[in-house]
Amino acid sequence: MKIAMIGQKGIPFIRDGGVERHVEELSSRLAAGGHDVFAYVRPRFIINGQKIYKGIRLISLPSISTKNFDTITHTFLSTLHVLFKRVDIIHYHGVGPSTLAWIPRIFKPRTKIVVTFHSIDRFHKKWGRFARIYLGWGEWTACHFPHQTIAVSESIKKYCRKKFKKNVVYIPNGVTPEKVTGTDKIKLFGLKRDSYILTVARLIEHKGIHYLIRAYRKIEKKFGSDPKNWPNGKIKKLVIVGAPSYTEDYFLYLNKLAEQSPNIIFAGFQTGETLKQLFGNAYLYVHPSESEGLSITILEAMSYGTCVLISNIPENLETIDHSGFSFETKNVDDLFEKLIYLLNVPELLVKRGERGEHFIKENFNWDKIVIETEKVYKKLLI
């Protein structure tokens, strides 16, 4: 099959969100399986102008690089470009890009259109009123314009059925489990195994990092600066991995919340071996988001055997299957209480981490996900 991917920023995944990681993992495996895969990317998100990555042919087109117009202008140019290519499948990623899926439906009628509904983007607080209205319409288009819609979570599948009366296919995000034994990269941050609590996310408001910082500051106030007063006689630092995405004001706000704390580390955007070691050596992973599609970072933390504490939104809860812990979303006091409890039960965290690792291997395996996606493509082409 000839398959075109539209909506992602860049491949390989060098920064930004779960959509980029999803498309890279899916596309590279499809290409390895003998399919001809094209991915439309933006120049600033590719490395050294490369044109092929893991068998994926990268087509670089420009965009208007602003918060509101970056994705839609790139999607528009990509859509026009793909009209003149011989492809069997055009796969749009995200509800914003799906708003232009009508173009190939009309002007390239023999090509089958697929949309992956990654998250309910209008809930993301970085968007203004007009953008939220547009993204709300994008949800409708994601369910009505393509020949088939894929939802990355059961919660989104139920949402589509309830709101739009559409049955969509559930195919989750995935991870590639890896074992980590080294600590040389985290030593650069003054860290060692089990010495820190970790969170990994773009620094945008709906990810809820401000709730975590507030809860952690309450812990510091309770135990003070003497390690002897902390559970097991050791201070657990808070490591925040991620960068702002057109949200520099929010990043400054987070820094203000964390000021005067020597135990809060902003590690910036990380990838590769450094990120693997951060995940694999953390005492606990915390994900305090207000809205998600299906968080790849939760899955990644669990795949390394790290226990997770997550906000209790439905999209998060379906990832853990009783192998982690949850707190009431937006509730700093509940998050504080759960953190205090978990700091005191390291043996329980090890057991839950092992259970989570097994659950991820069984249910969020990329190879299985690719097979299910191929089934969708082949069914459309019959």
Structural domain boundaries in the chain: 2-174+365-381, 186-363
Rounded to the nearest 10 degrees, how much is the dihedral formed by the CA atoms of 292, 67, 273, 360?
20
- In the block, which residue shows the tokens 């559409």? 166
Distance CA 240, CA 200 (A): 6
Indicate the DSSP class of residue 236.
Answer: P
Per CATH, the number for 186-363 is 3.40.50.2000
- pLDDT attached to residue 247: 87
Q: Identify the segments of the chain with pLDDT beneath 50.
A: none
User: 308: part of which helix (H) or strand (E)?
Assistant: strand 308-311
Distance CA 69, CA 73 (A): 6
- Count CB neighbours of 196 within 10 A: 23
The listed CATH number (3.90.79.10, 1.10.8.100, 3.40.190.10, 3.40.50.2000) that belongs to domain 2-174+365-381 = 3.40.50.2000
Candidates 158, 19, 157; CA nearest to 92 is 19
Domains 2-174+365-381 and 186-363 share a fold: yes
Angle at which helices 209-223 and 332-343 pack, to 10 degrees? Answer: 60
> Do 329 and 313 contact (CB within 8 A), yes or no?
yes
Summary count for the chain: helices (H), strands (E): 14, 14
Candidates 118, 26, 13; CA nearest to 370 is 26
- pLDDT attached to residue 100: 97
Q: What is the b/e burial string over 331-349, where b = at least 16 CB atoms within 10 angstroms of the residue's CB?
A: bbebbbebbeebbeeeeeb
The residues that bridge with 37 in the sheet, in sequence order, are 3
Residue type, 324: G
- pLDDT attached to residue 123: 61
- Count CB neighbours of 158 within 10 A: 14
Residue 88 neighbours by CB under 8 Å, 6+ apart? 1, 2, 3, 111, 112, 377, 381
Distance CA 285, CA 309 (A): 6
**pTM to 2 decimals?**
0.83
The residues that bridge with 238 in the sheet, in sequence order, are 197, 264
- pLDDT attached to residue 122: 62
Q: What's the pLDDT tens digit per position in 233-246?
A: 999 999 999 999 88
